[in-house]
Structure 1
Amino acid sequence: MATYPMTVQGADALREELVYLKQTKRPEIVASIAEAREHGDLKENAEYHAAREEQGFCEGRIQDIEGKLGNAQIIDVTKIPNTHKVIFGVTVTLLNIETDAEVTYQIVGDDEADIKNNRISVNSPIARALIGKVVDSEVEVKTPGGVVEYEIISVEHK
């Protein structure tokens, strides 16, 4: 069975969501279904059907999270010595050689990626180009807008 890399923070966030779904959301949905049942005829009871649909989504998400956590390879980058090499979980600062613009990304698992918070998937084109490179290396990244050249300024294990 394949394992999927995940940061400690990503695994913690999934565990928190799982606890919320099981201990809070699931009981709320069950109560909604019970209340809707009391309204009578289930064939024409929109509240009942909406609650059942929500229950299906909730149970599906619970299974999804449990599956992801079960197959996760949780990597704590803070426990790995910093060799200034880009690996999963590090925070890397890049300099766009053409524009002199700096950008910082953390390389995370697919489910943790959030470009608004500068967290990119290990499977993204930028991360794939960076993995294995060291500080002061120049890297060419193929993007939809063409090739962009970056210099790796720093690699941090946060």
Structure 2
Amino acid sequence: MKKISVALSLAMLGACAWASAMTPQEAMDYSIKDARAKIAKQFHNPSAVKFNESFAIYSKNIDQIYVCGSMASGDSVGQFAGNTRFVATYNFYADESSPPNFSSVAFNVKGEPMVRSADGSGKRATWFDDMNWNQRCVDEKHPPRYSEDE
């Protein structure tokens, strides 16, 4: 009887450990891998998508993770277009056992009209710059970016 009790206790402990919540760092690492896979699948030839730097920022106060980065994709004849920045948004609740949930992705569209940035920098920025990248992807390691500089 004692052996059964110990076995059940160990099984329950294992189940609790398996269902434990991810740390924010684990969730950010998961989100980067997941975002790259989801973005690549949106293209005609997913294996021709080349990712450059990707990083994640956790916004604890609104339970979101932003995956920021740039990528290039091959066209139908194998030529690579220029780099395109992206921001993927994930919902992440640190107290739950489920992984981050993909919400949306936005791309910096070449040729998008530019206006003066709302941040007071005097730079010309696209909607993507002002409402996505510079709102979600800026921290001590990653400064604001503007399409006029690219």
TM-score, normalised by the number of residues in structure 1:
0.25
TM-score, normalised by the number of residues in structure 2:
0.26
Structure with higher Rg: it is 1
Larger RCO: Structure 1 or Structure 2 (Cα < 8 Å, ≥ 6 residues apart)? 1
Q: Which one has a larger percent helix, Structure 1 or Structure 2?
A: 1
